[in-house]
Structure 1
Amino acid sequence: MVGQRSEREGRRGIRPWIIDVLIGAGVAVTVSVVITANQGGRQEPDPVAYLWAVGLGALMLARRRYPVIVLAVSVLGLFAYYAAGYPAVGLAVPVAAALFSAAELGRLAAATVAAVVVTVVSVVFRLAEGQDFSLVVGYELAGHVLLMGAAIALGDSVRARRAAQADARRIAELTAERYRHEADARLQSERMAIARDLHDSLGHTTSVIALHADVAREALGRDDAAVRSALDLIRSTATSSMADLRRTVALLRSREDARRTVVSLSNLETVTEAATAAGFDVDVEVRVDTDLPSPVEAAAFRIVQEAVTNVVKHSTGSRVQIQVRQDADHLTLAVADDGTGDGTAARAGHGIAGMRERAEALGGTFNAGHRDPGFVVRAALPLAVQS
């Protein structure tokens, strides 16, 4: 709080109470000089007249807290001064600062009413005393009205300028807050993307390793060739997973476009090898005519990878079909197996949710469910990806 207050004071420059003291001193000195001229009046200037001038200046110390009261006291004090018969000091000079202060603090109506009251009372009183109409109305009135109007206009312009500056600061604060929220949203989105990548990559790897570790254990001592094959697949799967993780970490550390993909549909053999090694016949059909946007290709690869992992973990079938096709507007893909429905419920976990999130994040569609026979995953990803 102290730091913020110091920053605000530094931005304002001179402290408000110093400004009020300067305005009050200016009022007292100006009115005192006019009184000293000793023009008109029935009574010579005395200490009371100068004390009145000091009092007008002292009122400026309360102008920010009580602008309307200061204005009213200034007007009544002016009337009392003239009623006492002291030398003329005009109309606008004694009340100009009070009019300015009221307008500056948003009391424009009060300032306008006060100026009208002072003018009307002065004109009526002077005409009632028999002063020349042409002098009072034709010569002096315009100058008094213009000076009081200028004081009010200046105060209102200062108020408007401060309000505009406050609005500009508020807009800047709201803009900065919006940028912070957007940054937080982007960070959260990136975290979700990383979580999905880790789930898909590590989930696929651990499923394959666990499956073939069981194969090696069952074949141990009975079929050395099967053991060696399972161990080789475990090693290659782990190596591929580590390479995938290294590429992901390198991308996260890079200052370049973070939307590049570290996976490609051209590497689907790393996915299909696990299904083949698990005893599935795998049919792969990829029809892609042009380079795909990186987010689309990454999402397609991960969806296929997770779908094949679910087949290896849950399907009782023997065949997997993978189709990836590109048309004018979309990339469509399907992963299906011919197993029975026993494993359908087991697949409705984080894997299905993650695949759906990937598709919908790009504005695409996703559905997965049982068919007769087997289970099928379908997704349609738009090629026009918003940045």
Structure 2
Amino acid sequence: MSGQPSQSAVRRVRPWLTDVLLGVGVTAVVSVVITANEGGRQEPDRIAYLWAVGLGALMLARRRYPVAVLAVTVLGLFAYYAAGYPAVGLAVPVAAALFSAAEQGRLAASITGAVVVVVVSVVVRLAEGQNFSFVVGYELAGHVLLMGAAIALGDSLRSRRAAQADARRIAELTGERYRQEADARVQGERLAIARDLHDSLGHTTSVIALHADVAREALGRDEEATRSALELIRATARRSMDDLRRTVALLRRDDDPARTVVSLAHLDAVAGAAGAAGFDVDVRVDLHSALPAPVEAAAYRIVQEAVTNVVRHSAGSRVEIHVAQDDRQVTVSVTDSGADRRSTDRAADSGHGIAGMRERAQSLGGSLTAEHQPTGFAVRAELPWAGTT
């Protein structure tokens, strides 16, 4: 609400309010002690009470200049007693200054100031002939305890504020780390979805485009070829829509399900698309145990994208798909025969297909190579599977 002060404004006002109240308290307490008129050679006058007001006014500068405030307070106390005014003790006039210096982290200055006040007072009073037992044995303990309590209180407040500041800083750093991790997870998920869409839709659209051309050329001349091409287009489009529906259904779930919706059991569809495009397809899958879902999905997507590149760019007539598993990794290879080197060069230099396959392999700690061989273009991926979840 506009009528309420903001939290930051309250934080700015509160220290000054505390200093004002502390200054008023110092002035009031010292003035009361002066009014008692105990001891001294001179009756309390206006200057004595102005001195009390000055001690209180020093509290307004205690945060910015804590050591200076303490020094002026100690020297003022000495000057007060030198003028012969009534006794006001030792700890009462300097307690606030000692507390302020310790609160601002000037612990050594606080202790030094307290020691100087005590030593000078004891020496002067003993030099004046006052009773040693009364000065040292009776009064000294009370003064030391009060000054020590003021210093301890100030230092404890400083330590508490420092701990709170550290806790806030740790909370901020922790929150920032969580935000960065969340951003990284979102970015990783975006890249994974982009790869899935590229591999899935890229494959199916290539198959559909290829057989659409076949249907167009056969239209009116070869009804059987036209019907076969259209049926393959329909089946491919249906598989693509099923894949998309499964992916969207997983993304809409509130829990954290496994993203994998494909596996090596679907390789027949990939091989069938290449076969329908006129390639002789050799598929060999040698798995002796079940693979972790991320590894199996990555292997499938790599095969799918590699076969898509073959259908798009290869001038050969044969493609070999081999998947083999050993105790440490799964090896995936897709090789076509008689590839057109210039076409595969263009495929490797443009688009996101090979880069996406390499990212998939590297995300699992594996590697991928795509290179020309004497018999054609070969894609080979090595995917560690032991220990992958």
Give the match for residue 296 of structure 1.
295
For the structure 1 residues 247 and 362, does the alpha-carbon distance in structure 2 shift closer, same or farther, using more than 3 Å as the test? Answer: same
Alignment of 1:16-165 (within 5 A): 16-165=15-164
Counterpart of 2:276 in structure 1: which amino acid?
A
Q: CA deviation at 1:300?
A: 1.0
Q: CA deviation at 1:114?
A: 1.7
Aligned equivalents of 2:96 and 2:387: distance in 1?
A: 63
For the structure 1 residues 77 and 386, does the alpha-carbon distance in structure 2 shift closer, same or farther, using more than 3 Å as the test? Answer: farther
Give the match for residue 182 of structure 1.
181
Worse-matched range after superposition: 350-359 or 315-324: 315-324
Give the match for residue 356 of structure 1.
358
SS of 1:111's partner is helix
Q: CA deviation at 1:9?
A: 6.2
Give the match for residue 339 of structure 1.
338
SS of 2:124's partner is helix
Aligned equivalents of 2:47 and 2:296: distance in 1?
A: 91
For the structure 1 residues 318 and 361, does the alpha-carbon distance in structure 2 shift closer, same or farther, using more than 3 Å as the test? Answer: same
Aligned equivalents of 2:126 and 2:45: distance in 1?
A: 27
Aligned equivalents of 1:30 and 1:328: distance in 2?
A: 85
Alignment of 1:363-382 (within 5 A): 363-382=365-384
Counterpart of 1:43 in structure 2: which amino acid?
Q
Aligned equivalents of 1:272 and 1:181: distance in 2?
A: 41
Give RMSD over aligned pairs. Answer: 2.1
Aligned equivalents of 2:298 and 2:184: distance in 1?
A: 20
* Structure 2 unaligned blocks of 5 or more: none
Counterpart of 2:185 in structure 1: which amino acid?
R
* Structure 1 unaligned blocks of 5 or more: none
Give the match for residue 196 of structure 2.
197
Write out per-residue CA displacement over residues 185-213 of structure 1, whole angstroms, 9 at most, x where no aligned residue.
11111111111111111111111111112
> 1:257 and 2:261 equivalent?
no
Residues 327, 386 of structure 2: 8 Å contact kept: no
Aligned equivalents of 1:67 and 1:57: distance in 2?
A: 14
Aligned equivalents of 1:178 and 1:57: distance in 2?
A: 47
Aligned equivalents of 2:254 and 2:263: distance in 1?
A: 21
Q: CA deviation at 1:229?
A: 1.0
Give the match for residue 247 of structure 2.
248
Counterpart of 2:20 in structure 1: which amino acid?
V
Worse-matched range after superposition: 242-251 or 299-308: 242-251
Aligned equivalents of 1:143 and 1:137: distance in 2?
A: 10
Counterpart of 1:224 in structure 2: which amino acid?
E
Worse-matched range after superposition: 160-169 or 101-110: 101-110
Aligned equivalents of 1:385 and 1:221: distance in 2?
A: 57
Q: CA deviation at 1:127?
A: 2.1
> 1:6 and 2:6 equivalent?
yes
SS of 2:188's partner is helix
Residues 362, 385 of structure 1: 8 Å contact kept: no
Q: CA deviation at 1:291?
A: 2.9
Aligned equivalents of 2:366 and 2:279: distance in 1?
A: 29
Runs (4+) off by over 6 Å: none
Write out per-residue CA displacement over residues 146-166 of structure 1, whole angstroms, 9 at most, x where no aligned residue.
322221122111111101100
Give the match for residue 226 of structure 1.
225
Give the match for residue 305 of structure 2.
306
Aligned equivalents of 2:170 and 2:365: distance in 1?
A: 32
Counterpart of 1:173 in structure 2: which amino acid?
E
Counterpart of 1:366 in structure 2: which amino acid?
L
Worse-matched range after superposition: 92-101 or 20-29: 20-29
Q: CA deviation at 1:273?
A: 1.2
Aligned equivalents of 2:7 and 2:179: distance in 1?
A: 22
Counterpart of 2:345 in structure 1: which amino acid?
A
Counterpart of 1:373 in structure 2: which amino acid?
T
> 1:172 and 2:171 equivalent?
yes
Q: CA deviation at 1:167?
A: 0.6
Aligned equivalents of 2:6 and 2:211: distance in 1?
A: 68
Aligned equivalents of 2:256 and 2:271: distance in 1?
A: 29
SS of 1:123's partner is helix
Residues 58, 69 of structure 2: 8 Å contact kept: yes
Counterpart of 2:304 in structure 1: which amino acid?
Q
Worse-matched range after superposition: 294-303 or 53-62: 53-62
Aligned equivalents of 1:299 and 1:340: distance in 2?
A: 24
Give the match for residue 329 of structure 2.
330
Write out per-residue CA displacement over residues 111-161 of structure 1, whole angstroms, 9 at most, x where no aligned residue.
222222222221222122222223223332232223222211221111111
Counterpart of 2:371 in structure 1: which amino acid?
G
Aligned equivalents of 1:371 and 1:145: distance in 2?
A: 91
Aligned equivalents of 1:362 and 1:385: distance in 2?
A: 11
Residues 24, 56 of structure 2: 8 Å contact kept: yes
Aligned equivalents of 2:152 and 2:103: distance in 1?
A: 9
Aligned equivalents of 1:51 and 1:39: distance in 2?
A: 18
Counterpart of 2:27 in structure 1: which amino acid?
A
For the structure 1 residues 299 and 189, does the alpha-carbon distance in structure 2 shift closer, same or farther, using more than 3 Å as the test? Answer: same
Q: CA deviation at 1:249?
A: 1.2
Residues 281, 319 of structure 2: 8 Å contact kept: yes
Give the match for residue 321 of structure 1.
320
TM-score normalised over the length of structure 2: 0.92
Task: Calculate percent identity across the aligned residue pairs.
Answer: 74
Q: CA deviation at 1:25?
A: 2.3
SS of 1:336's partner is strand
Residues 368, 375 of structure 1: 8 Å contact kept: yes
